[in-house]
Amino acid sequence: MNYYNGFYIEKPVGNNMFSYEQRSQKRIYVPALLGSSLEDLQISDEYCFCECLEGEEICCSGLEKFIELKRERNTAYIFDNHNHALYFWVDALEKGMFEKGIKLVHIDQHKDMREPDRYIESLDKKDIFEYTNYVLNVGNFIKPALEMGIFSEVIIIDSEYGFNEKTRDIEGDFVLDIDVDIFSKDMDYIDFDLRMDCIKELAQKAKAITIATSPYFIEQGYAIELVKEMMGEYIK
């Protein structure tokens, strides 16, 4: 069963907790999982993330719909806020795309290794859906996956050294997790082609792929262009 049918989060939980009391915009939207093609990648009219920075309220539009993209060699899940990755890892695990205990390769401007307020043991899809959306946020979704044994370890690629060296040493089965903000302006010190070529190479070897377009950290039109470049090959 797919629990992503499009809904609002109106209470100060999950990704809606950031600067909640200071914001005039009190709710965020989580899209439905309806897309199956790169052509379904469109910017939503709804806000998916709001935050106050130095007294300014910043509200960001995410994706119009989430996408399950079936490729020749694996499936890629594409969504906006990065915490949704946990739900889709469980979905891929349930569908037999990989076995528990393999590696996670996490390519991101941020490590996303903060501690959540609480952990969960259940792998029930409904429980994971509620935990992902109402407890977790964009910075703390990886440790729960490690605690549940979905992954045995995480390999973080967030630097020039990571792209040049760490990617050479990845052995065995792995799930690839990409945050498109690895192409934000702050990361321009790393050669663009190096980043893109490494991602494309790893994407052909991964058992499953999760991709976050991270609206707060990178402009969504550009993010969509990048996802299309990453995933444009080997489409069914």
Average pLDDT, the chain: 96
List the chain domain ranges.
Answer: 65-231
Which of 104, 132, 136, 98 has the alpha carbon at shortest distance from 117? 136
Measured from the Cβ of residue 184, the count of other Cβ atoms closer than 10 Å reads 16
168-199: pLDDT as tens digits: 889 999 999 999 999 999 999 999 999 999 99
Which of 65, 217, 196 has the alpha carbon at shortest distance from 138? 217
DSSP 128: H
Query: For helices 220-231 and 192-205, what crossing angle results, to 10°?
Result: 50
Q: What pLDDT does residue 1 have?
A: 84
Rounded to whole angstroms, the Cα distance separating 80 from 75 reads 17
Q: Does the structure show a pLDDT above 60 at 231?
A: yes
The predicted model scores a pTM of 0.96
The confidence band for 234, taking pLDDT boundaries of 50, 70 and 90, is low
Please state whether beta strands 208-212 and 75-79 pair in parallel, antiparallel, or not at all (unpaired).
Answer: parallel
* Residue 90 burial class via C-beta count within 10 angstroms: exposed 0-12, middle 13-18, buried 19 and up: buried
The CATH T-level fold of domain 65-231 is Arginase; Chain A (3.40.800)
The region, left, alpha or beta by phi > 0 then psi within -120 to 50, assigned to residue 96 is left
What percentage of the chain carries pLDDT values higher than 70? 98
Strands of the chain (E only): list them.
5-9, 28-35, 43-53, 56-63, 66-70, 75-79, 102-107, 151-157, 174-179, 208-212
90-102: pLDDT as tens digits: 999 999 999 999 9
Q: What pLDDT does residue 171 have?
A: 92
What are the backbone angles phi and psi of residue 213, rounded to the nearest 5°?
Answer: -90, -5
